[in-house]
Structure 1
Amino acid sequence: MSNFDFDLFVIGAGSGGVRASRIAASHGARVAVAEEHRVGGTCVIRGCVPKKLLVYGAHFAEDLKDARQFGWDVPDCKFDWDRLRDNVLAEVTRLEGLYGQTLENHKVTVFKTRATVVGPQKVRLADGQEISAERILIATGGWPHVPEFPGSEHAITSNEVFHLEKLPKRVVIAGGGYIANEFAGIFNEFGSKVTIVNRGDTILRGYDEQIRDRLLQISMTKGIEFRFNAPFQSIERNDDGSLTVNLENCDAIQADAVLVAAGRVPNSKGLGLEEAGVELDEHGAIKVDERNQSSVPSIFAVGDVTNRIQLTPVAIREGQAFADTFFGNKPTLVDYANVPSAVFSHPPIGAVGMTEAEARNKLGSIRVYTSDFRAMKNVLAGRNERALYKMVVNAATDQVVGLHMIGPDAPEILQAAAIAVKAGLTKADFDNTVALHPSMAEELVLLK
């Protein structure tokens, strides 16, 4: 028997931590997990799952109007934020229970408290109890970054947005990334007046330029306002409870809520990592090698706390690879090439591989194919909103190196198409595939 209390101690029961715990336990390891918030982590509790449920709820605003053009006698409908909020939070609680049950079924010991590292193979719980483990895995994820400025305490983040007591009539959203654009679409469809304020001049940095320009155009058509090159100066609380947002280079904006979506930082503070000898980068991310091992051989990390690719499925892959490598005798490395991503904006975006600019810089000679069209549903509904599909091809090999889409169900379509990019298929392979008609996805095999 081992001289340690556990073979593996995991700090953080989010997507990566739960997967690593479950797989390690299935390989016969004695596993414990400490979670100071709620089992499930950011994705399940305060991230992609409740956010996607709000996205579904927001879609009904347009669907109910469009239904009239399809013969349905739909009366004017009133949106009830309290009902949706409570139903979403109830679903989150249900999922939290399932995650806890999964750990219990695999005989993983769960400590519902904070844990910190006090040595290469020792952790301390909030009550002072010290526990030894042969290996320690840090899976504490990320945390919303709130820049410091006067009145920043009046702003909320994506952590609190799901718990709003009432729907704000006017919302200012700080940031230009996926979280900012997703919540802009959600609140706009719910009837709020939305203004996105960005300290730079670009939204969705890292996505293909044509795709992000199309989202900007459509968002403005839907009534979302944008302020670029406008850093926050201060937020003031008015006597009536409203907020005054003071900006550089712009007039002040009156709001009922300010949501800061200015990125996420690794959640590594106060864990005792540096004292234990774990090396962090300038952003607080744990530096790890390809096997998720830190500068301390017995301490590992997966997920957003490593600041590699901040996506739930990547954290899950890393957790699985870690457990299989060190407890299953199955050495596994995560392949980070061609990881698909989505923005659940209105309309949504799906992307995989290189953007046009990246491909030109890396490959030199490329071919670009686009399809700019109105979805059949939008035509009959009388909506002028257009979808845009874009394929980037290596001219020397005919290999498809990038796919970028904005339009209805783009992420659902992109998931299958990402397999083709990952497999290195060519434009000829797409051309040789018979179209599925009538569908939006058929545009991918009809690009000329």
Structure 2
Amino acid sequence: MVEADRMRVSVIGTGYLGATTAACLAEMGFEVLGLDVDKAKIDTLRAGSVPFYEPGLDELLERNLQAGRLGFTTSFAEAAAFADLHLICVGTPQQEGSGAADLRYVNSAVDQLAPHLTRPSVVVGRSTVPVGTAATLAARLAALAPVGEEAELGWSPEFLREGFGVEDTLHPNRIVLGTDSPRVEKAVRSLWQQQIDEGVPFLLTDLQTAELVKVAANAFLATKISFINAMAEVSEVAGADVIQLAEALSYDDRIGGKFLGPGLGFGGGCLPKDIRAFMARADELGVEPALSFLREVDAINQRRRARTIDIARQLIGGNFAGSTVAVLGAAFKPNSDDIRDSPALDVAATIASLGARVTVYDPQALERARQEHPELNYADSMLAAAAGADVVLLLTEWQEFREANPEALGEVVADKRIVDGRNALDPTFWRSAGWTYRALGRQ
């Protein structure tokens, strides 16, 4: 192993996690080589363009390409010759027809890298995998690598939030590493020494605990989100206000206010598939009852979408056929162009299937949305999307939508009706401007 300040790193997989990790490590001063089997993606990154939206990442990519600290390749042989530490950052999507994680990309990364490891090497997984995966991969790595057991594997889960990926990489709230190898520990400590010196906690665990940290965190967050959305269901029937309820709960320091925002629910490429994969793995381990509550967490989340559609249908008289609907938001969350399992697009597509003419606007996700849902209409501004609308649905809480002018919007719609699917607006303000305002969990 070379000295820490000379350590070179390969990042295998250049999707959201990999590209963000590679650019940030280069910004920290490491020489980094990103690897992907998708040549088009590599060509895009080499040209200094990020193939997705993440605030601040474009600047980091361009600066470090120009500085010569960051490069990209499609060759595993080149990555093996270049790097002292290899980070696996490939995706683990949900399997078709199953809740289980699809591990083909993780397995392939090890299978293609290992035969080129002819000197002592450290491989560290950052992908989210079912517990028990890392131990299997460690054995696989040692069996396939020419250097044998001197190719060592550890697991260090990532905790990036889309829209805050650069900040979360450069300034993580904790670093977790699963290993019993002093060499793996030394390499990972060297990678994050700056952050450790700044006081970021470094937790050393076994492989299995490290694998569980990410899925346990996501399961907890999903549970908290679905809990307050369950309270929204109760509040609507009981005549209570879930926003006031959430505020009251937030002052209890045992509960806190983070992720206690009632609304349309969670989506994206992590929480939904991770809790389903967690349940599937628990079933394989024979402890399915321990996580059976996550089935209701998932069900509550899905019901929020149906309830949003019901509220919109009530506002326009009970039937979408022939109506015009404006949907503000396509990404699953603001500050991202990720539309995977997007509640906003799910609601939009369902309403369109019920006979409405649906027009969608999103500040960043329109291109991806058009590819996924060509049956919908799209506009290049909020006002254009709302033109002639019988009802407006705010489904992704972009700042642009939070700050929307009800007077200006009211001049272009057919009727001043709005469903606030994220509880992002001030009801009094909008009602005073003549709008009929409805939101989940509020009268």
Task: Identify the TM-score tier after normalising by the shorter chain.
Answer: 0.3 to 0.5
Greater share of helix: 2
TM-score (norm 1): 0.34
Greater share of strand: 1
Greater RCO, CA 8 A, separation 6+: 1
